Chains A and B, each alone.
Chain A
Amino acid sequence: MTESAQTTESRSVPPARPYPFSVPDRLVVDPTYGELRENEPMTRVKLPYGEEAWLATRYEDVRTVLGDVRFGRAPAVQRDEPRLTPRQQYSGMLTMDPPDHTRLRRLVAKAFTARRVEALRPRTQEIADGLVDNMVRLGPPADLVEHVATPLPIQVICELLGVPYADRDRFHIWSEAIVSTTSLPMETIQEYLNNLWGYIGALVAERRREPGIDDLLGALVRARDENQDRLSETELVELAGGLLAAGHETTVTQIPNFVYVLLHNPDQLARLRTDPSLVPAAVEELLRYVPLGVGSSFARYAKEDVEVGGVLVRAGEPVLGSLSSANRDGTVFADPDRLDLEREQNPHMGFGHGVHHCVGAQLARMELQVAVATLVTRLPGLRLAVPEAELQWKRGMLVRGLLGMPVAW
């Protein structure tokens, strides 16, 4: 068995590096990723919580870890999963493999297809215009996070799910608990999650009293009540709560991140302003360029021995894939550290890959396109209203972004 002898030999397990490699600095991608892609594409890492893991940094390897059926998420619930947060996640789509995962995912996937999402574009544009009108009325300086980036995605996901937007202050706080790493104490996180589940539970009860309500929550309740095997009551509540939460932090954080990057690339911003037909390609490039996550993907566990990036990953071992690193891999993206809004081939991994590929991807794309187009065309003089050094960045969260973004125009 020369083959196994060889792979065993190539398996000199290096000592684990603490991960993330550094405290996030604005939207800078730590140069360690580039060095690792070059010299040690599969490296050992130790996250603040959980067991040691492999970290894949090359594009091809990250795709294997996320896309190959020999890797799965389900084993994580039996293990001390490598993670940034004290709490481990034990339920939801992101802790399941097919066919369990498929059962839940298929129930919601229909509501998020490109075609369904396109139908929400006019309403999204209307909301965006209303928010910009309001900000203009208030006059500069105004906080872009508070006035546009936060309300836009939240209002859209609320209308899609059927959650009263008037309750936003409550569930915004609760759902922040889901993406908090160290910024909140454990007890508070648990309390917020319980509040979120209780809140969704009440909306579900309302759908049962009024079965005609035509929103995603109503559709999920009908799916559950028609066939109890398709969706348990707990799953129903968590699915809806998860969508509400996931519909928040991500797009809310990316809108100011995108504006921030565009302001740092004034020539490309000017191009975009004169030719808004570039917006869809620009959004894809920004999704590639901006390292949204502080860490990597969620850990995948090898279901059998798998060779990845020259390393034999043993059955049962966890592997993380760095999306930010994959998105800067020069073997796939020419001149990867340069923002190029007109990049032609852009198979970025900003939404992940494989069965867990972001279910909200088409929605997020559409929202980001509307946000970017509206801001650059309606506010041609858009600029920071404070010196760059005064910008406050998130700390102790899973995502990187601005706490506030005072702008003038």
Chain B
Amino acid sequence: MSTAWRIGVDTSRCIGTSICAGTAPEHFRLVGGLSAPLADVVAPADVILDAADSCPVEAITVHDASDDRLIAPQE
């Protein structure tokens, strides 16, 4: 049971659609046209997976902060 997730945004992939910031505004915003997480390590929440799974270029990754297991994006 993971208690914390680590959010990463690969800004070399991000194309600035703002889908993530619209889906999970409490976790993502656009800075200079590209996505940036508001906090890197956060409490698990489904809406973060929604954002990661909705990104068209799979720029958002979510890992378990304790064991580094990849949680999203899912295949």
Which residues of A are in contact with B by a Cβ distance under 8 Å?
63, 67, 69, 98-99, 102, 105-106, 109-110, 112-115, 347, 351, 353-355, 357, 359, 361-362
Contacts and interface: CB of A to CB of B under 8 A. Distances in A.
A67 B30 CA distance: 10
Contacts, number: 58
Given A110-B53, A355-B19, 15 more contacts: A102-B23, A102-B47, A105-B54, A106-B53, A109-B53, A113-B57, A114-B58, A115-B58, A347-B16, A353-B17, A354-B17, A355-B22, A357-B18, A359-B56, A362-B56
Interface string B17-51: 11101110100001001000000000000010010
Contact of B18 (A67, A99, A102, A361): A67
B58 A354 contact: no
Contact of B22 (A67, A110, A115): A67
Nearest to B34: A347
A110 B55 CA distance: 9
Contacts of A113: 55-58
Contacts of B50: 99, 102, 106
B18 A354 contact: yes
Q: Which of B23, B33, B53, B54 has the most CB of A within 10 A?
A: B54
Interface residues of B, number: 19
Interface of B: 16-19, 21-23, 25, 30, 33, 47, 50, 53-58, 74
A353 B18 contact: yes
Contacts of A110: 53, 74
A315 B53 CA distance: 31
Contact of B56 (A63, A67, A69, A361): A361
A114 B57 contact: yes
A354 B56 contact: no
Q: Which of B17, B30, B56 has the most CB of A within 10 A?
A: B56
A354 B19 CA distance: 5
Contacts of B22: 67, 69, 98, 354-355
Contacts of B58: 113-115
A69 B16 CA distance: 16
Nearest to B26: A69
A85 B22 CA distance: 28
Contacts of B54: 102, 105-106, 109
A363 to B, nearest CB: 10
Contacts of A105: 54
A362 B54 CA distance: 13
Contacts of A67: 18, 21-22, 30
A115 B55 CA distance: 11
A113 B18 CA distance: 15
A63 B54 CA distance: 19
A354 B25 CA distance: 11
A347 B56 contact: no
Contacts of A353: 17-18
A354 B54 CA distance: 11
